[in-house]
Amino acid sequence: MKAFGEYYVLFRDCFGRVEHEEHSRVYLQGLLSSLERKSMEPIALSLLGKSRVKALQKFVNTGVWDAEVLGNRHRQEAAKTVSKPGGVYSVDGSDFPKKGTESVGVARQYCGRLGKVDNCQAGVFVAYASEEGHALLDRRLFLPEKWFDKEHRERWEKCRIPEGTTFKTKPQLALEMILALHQEGLFDAQWVTGDDFFGRNPTFRDGLPADLLYFLDIPSDTRVWTKRPEVVIPQPSGKKGRRPKKVRLKKGEPAAVPVSTLANDPSLHWTTATVAEGAQGPIRAEFARLRVVESRDGLPGKDLWVVFRRSLADGQVKYVFSNAPEEIAFQELIRVSGLRWPIEQCFQEGKSEIGMDHYEHRSWDAWHRHMTFVFMAQLFLLRVRHLLKKKLQP
């Protein structure tokens, strides 16, 4: 296929050796193929033959090439395809059910795909979306805290986890990636979006670059004030040994209320908008917004927008925090809401069509390498769609 050959050439010099070039091409072809199972052995048997299975396995697991160099090239090409003013970074986790205990980072933990605690690996991902499309850009494997104890040291070495790796929460991993992408400067991004796992974490929100606005889901029990309450700041007593009093709300000030209680406020002005095109037609929802003061440890924090999104299908309400300025147009917040979901489309496409979850690799390097190839495969499909769209235009 001519389009695939032209696309692959863009990445060929990331591997150095001729045999690595061949194996990288085969692996990418395998992910894009019609194979029912896109793990290592079926790909090798289909495209190389039985005698080359181990060679392809070695290329992904222990081959001497740098996945970060390949990832950098992927982002450069992705930026050419989707970067547009007003673009959106999205952060989200994706979980991969696994049997056994040998795969890197596997543990009994909450698995979103299964909806329960089970044996799985957990990854954190960043995507970018604009009116030109969407693409996954970066990934981090989450290592549970138990992987840092002495009992896991042997498995740590077998999985080739880099020395110096320290425990980091999922929001910390997401923030690292956002900061690195922002510094890299390839994408014209104005917003950061994510689900309530990230939105309820004030450290994550505070750590984002100052010139990026966020639009982050929050739980329904998140507490806010509709009017900034007064606080009492105690004066120093000057007496040694006496513990200073803490800042507190002024007597008579109301307590913060859950955002869910505000969704029925009669003063809210709701507007209906199309947020996405679904398989069965446009997806529409009602939106409202309210200026609030967030509650942090029972004290007033920042002035923020709460955006309410009510599904027309089932009436379910979602809640969002945004640090957008007070004067921002409501239509801009609604536009960004529609760009919150493409990262989930990336996961759905990756797992249903490209073998994102078909891998059987156990090592740290192999997991990150596999995900990078998945990103490349998705970008190729997006470029093909763009090409076909141009050909259909009069």
Instruction: Name the pTM for this structure.
Output: 0.93
More confident residue, 168 or 112: 168
Q: What are the beta bridge partners of residue 250?
A: none
Query: Tell me: the pLDDT tens digits for 175-215?
Result: 999 999 999 999 999 999 999 999 999 999 999 999 999 99
Query: Tell me: the pLDDT tens digits for 140-188?
Result: 999 999 999 988 889 999 999 999 999 999 999 999 999 999 999 999 9
Could you tell me if 44 and 56 are in contact, meaning their C-beta atoms sit under 8 angstroms apart?
Answer: yes
Q: At 124, list the tokens.
A: 């954190």
Distance CA 196, CA 218 (A): 4
Which one, of 118, 87, 102, lies nearest residue 187 by Cα?
87
Percentage of the chain lying above the pLDDT 70 cut: 96
Q: Cβ–Cβ contacts within 10 Å for residue 17, how many?
A: 12
Could you tell me if 235 and 198 are in contact, meaning their C-beta atoms sit under 8 angstroms apart?
Answer: no
Query: Tell me: the pLDDT tens digits for 224-283?
Result: 999 999 998 887 665 665 666 788 898 889 999 999 999 988 889 999 998 877 667 788
Q: Which residues contact 160 (CB under 8 A, 6 or more apart)?
A: 62, 104, 363, 364, 365
Distance CA 117, CA 281 (A): 34
